[in-house]
Amino acid sequence: MSSINSEIEIYNNNNSNNNQKILTNQKEHDKVQLNELFVSIEGEGIFAGTKTLFIRFSGCHLKCYWCDTKYSLSPNSGKSYTINQAKHLIFNHLQPNIYKVNFTGGEPLLQPLSLIALANFVKSELDIKTYLESSCFDWKRFEMVLPHFDICKIEFKTSDSKVIESKFHNNLIQNELKCLELALNKNDKISFVKIVFTNSTTVNEIRDLITRIFRCSNINNLSGITLQPSYEFDSPSTEHILKVYDEVYPFYNDVRVVPQMHKMLGMN
């Protein structure tokens, strides 16, 4: 096992009472708060271009300054459903030729028990691939939901995302690394890395991050690395995109720069 195998203390922002409330264990196991469901074309990552049913969970305690779904950040956004109601909602949104169901947010790991229930329904009863799109802020929650997903996107947040206070950023990265380690240890999963970067993201930070990523055990099970230039928020120049690419390529020559294709297509 790699150096990140040791116990990792989950970061906790003591300055935010709201975050404390959101991060408590999910109390109502038979309910789920969903912001929206829709069918569209996947615009990000290694499965860009596939027809996908998106299930957007409500609530996110991380506040990326380039977030493009701010309407889903509140844990009270959207609507509350029983698990059975949510299953019917998913079934009613199905269309022919859906490749996968993307569980996104918000932050799905804030409702782990409901996430498991719905992912298991999609995977076991509907026989459709399940895809987890999460910030991977908590490796223990990730480990709990992992058996119910076929595809795991491990997203690493750079420091300029302003996602949390700087003193907690390294703890977030350690959790993300541990999640990647857990996913790579499962041979039945498709696991890939996504890094959103801006013009302010330094090549030194990218170099350090990718070095830490490639210390993970079973790194040969990695299915891809996508670099996603931020859109409309400190968008990187062509020169900077090439510099970031050049930092990753020596580690993983199948790296891809994948912008948010769905925005170019005018889709959700």
**Residue among 99, 43, 40 nearest 264 (CA):** 43
187: pLDDT strictly greater than 60: yes
> Is pLDDT above 90 for 125?
yes
Interatomic CA distance for residues 102 and 118, integer angstroms: 11
User: Domains of the chain: which residue ranges?
Assistant: 3-191
State pLDDT tens for residues 65-86: 878 788 898 999 999 999 999 9
- Confidence bin at 7 (pLDDT 50/70/90): very low
Per CATH, domain 3-191 is 3.20.20.70 = yes
The token duo for 112 is 């782990």
Instruction: Decide if pLDDT at 100 tops 70.
Output: yes
Q: Indicate the pLDDT class of residue 10, thresholds 50, 70 and 90.
A: very low
Mean pLDDT, to the nearest integer, of 236-249? 97
**Which one, of 106, 17, 37, lies nearest residue 67 by Cα?**
106
Structure tokens at 7: 């116990």
Instruction: Report the SS3 class of residue 92.
Output: helix
The region of weakest confidence among 63-67, 78-82, 124-128, 156-160 is 63-67
pTM over 0.85: yes
> Other C-beta atoms within 10 Å of 238: how many?
8
pLDDT at 18 over 60: no
CA dist 118 and 3 (Å) reads 34
